[in-house]
Structure 1
Amino acid sequence: MPARSAVAIDTAWAGALPFPVPPVLALGAHLKAAAAWVADGRGCLGPTVGDLDHPQARDALAAQAEALADTLPGAPRAVAHDLHPDFASTRLAQGLAAAWGVPARPVQHHRAHLAALAVEHGHAGPLLGLVLDGFGLGDDGQPWGGELLALDGATCRRLGHLRPLPQPGGDAAARQPWRMGAAALHVLGRGGEIAPRYADQPQAAALAGLLARGTHCPETPSGGRLFDAACGLLGVHPVAEFEGQAPMALERLVRQPRVWDGGWRLDAAGRLDLLSLLDRLADTGDAVLGAELFHGTLAAALVAWAAWAAETVGTRAVGLSGGCFFNRVLGDRVASGLAGKGLAVLRHRALSPGDDSLALGQAWVVAQTLAE
């Protein structure tokens, strides 16, 4: 077990928990990694060390975890980590847990996002969550990222998700939004438009072939990739310098969001389908108009989706989390729409909606299971 220390370390957040729990350390995910702990009635989150692609970041996370563990008011009962088995943070958590003789406990990515939001607000009751981001491994072993969840203490249910789109070339699509635009065209039955529409992309014809054959095109319900599809169809940064550049540029184009009521469909399984919106964007020659239609219609669809869930499960509080909610236009529109339906809305204020807050949610989830 780590030795106890009175030495103070830098923290990104420290505050009260909704109720006391056993001590748990957590190590976050892969991007914007940070460690955190919860114990008794307090929680503490370290500052992000960056993305764990870099050896320096992995070393920094290990050092931060040890330093935070030294400040825990009691020996950790478990070490929490992301569900993805290949993350460096997962391997570090498993190593620390083995060294300390305690279990390593995985927590699903989007559940951790919503749990971190609950901790931030001191919310102990049931909570619906719209959790939209780029990627997180789901309980079914598939990519998740456009989630409607119901959190209640140590339990979490997936009530629905965005309609999946193919992600041609896998992770490359996150930095080349034209690929997601091509994927949308394929799903819409407009695959013949891919090569001429993206003629300036040398791989366009080959990518159309991949989509037609269904090879190297894993499906994802990711909110981040939905934004990329809109950008790819509207010609906004078809090739980006970094993930998120195109969606941020799309947000900046918005003057006044517009709602197209025919832009979405909700099926009986709770799946939110926005293909009709993407179809319209494909025929919109004006990027500003397209950005306004996308933001306004997506926000209205998310409000309708959450309102359906609130009526279905009887929960009146809705949280907004995940990296897509860095987008203030989207977040403000969704929050005001939900409030207009009489629902209580929780948004991140002190904590980030991104992965740098995940560890706090992971620790909170595992600590509640230990307390039961």
Structure 2
Amino acid sequence: MALMKCVMWPLGVFRLGTTVFCSKRELSLFPGSPTNIQWSKVVSDAEKIVGYPTSFMSLRCLLSDELSNIAMQVRKLVGTKHPLLNTARAFVYDSRNNLQMRSLVVLLISKAAGPSKSADDTVQHDMVSGIHASQRNLAEITELIHTAFLVHRGIVNIEELKSCDGPVKDMQFGNKMAILSGDFLLANACTGLAQLQNTKVVELVSSAIGDLVQGIYYENSYLPEKNAFTDDIGISNWMEHIFLSHGALLAKSCQAAMELANHDPEVQSMAYQYGKHMSLSYKLNSDLQPFMNGKYCGTSFSLNCAPVVLHQDVIGREAWMEQVKQAQLKGNLVDLAKLQEAVNAGKGVTAAIDLCRYHGNKALENLHCFPPSKARSALENMVYTVTRFP
């Protein structure tokens, strides 16, 4: 799953032409959580509701001899520029700041739904803090799958390396370790999935893995070639592709959690829709963050993010390319500050905010089938936080 190498330039200036433009790679398929105090409090309160902090990978996996051996090998990358090392550091940072959210949402929606009407006393005895053991295992599996894809996304294209990127042998070794460790995490997730002994759940989560692969493929197809600046993908295609790469895993994991508790198809559908719309709202919030100050402050942004795509839809492709041309500097460089100013002056930002709130409202609608509870309130508060803008 080799990806093209991103090359960063200072002061918000990115090279075009033979070097591909892209923003700094995020470390989450829920990319960049809303960076505010309210979000941290919502997460902290939610973790108390489900019984324990969820912002970690499987401890059994982390403490295994196999992964310990991989970690020893990854230490050899210290001092190199391979992204796998930064990814490993970010896992520790994320766990301390409660940013790994998929497992938390799965546990919250499991607790909010509670036992099914057909559940007997034996099944309810299996529940701890209102959550089945199999649902907790599913939340852990979801996080492992997410982490495996993060590791794989750190693979670099050796053919596009430059001398300033470091020795080729370091990058080749880093790629081997990224493939090995990512495959190991994914294998553990699949083993845990089989142990749930539920054919429909296996089908749901397996299809989510396929969606992730397809979504990442689409993301890479956005990357321009030669002198093309960015693809004219349109907001409808953007929504479809973003769901595959950012929403399918959460949506189908929420549905699978309902299946494990023997809830009826209607409840399963509601859980799926909540996960879908919540993830889309979250992604839109993330894409909007660089545009919230009204002026460029050095924060990189993708030219295929929602505000830019919506801006292109409003003004047309030709007008957008003219704005890009006006922002070009010497040496095929582009001034991101000018481009952000052009996007802020249009309707792309307000349209993205409206779209974020729309998906947030759809997520809230699908929680109405669950009885009032602290878990449901926590899920609602997550939506309120990502749809709140200055």
TM over 0.5, shorter chain: no
Choose between structure 1 and 2: higher strand proportion.
1
TM-score by length of 1: 0.30
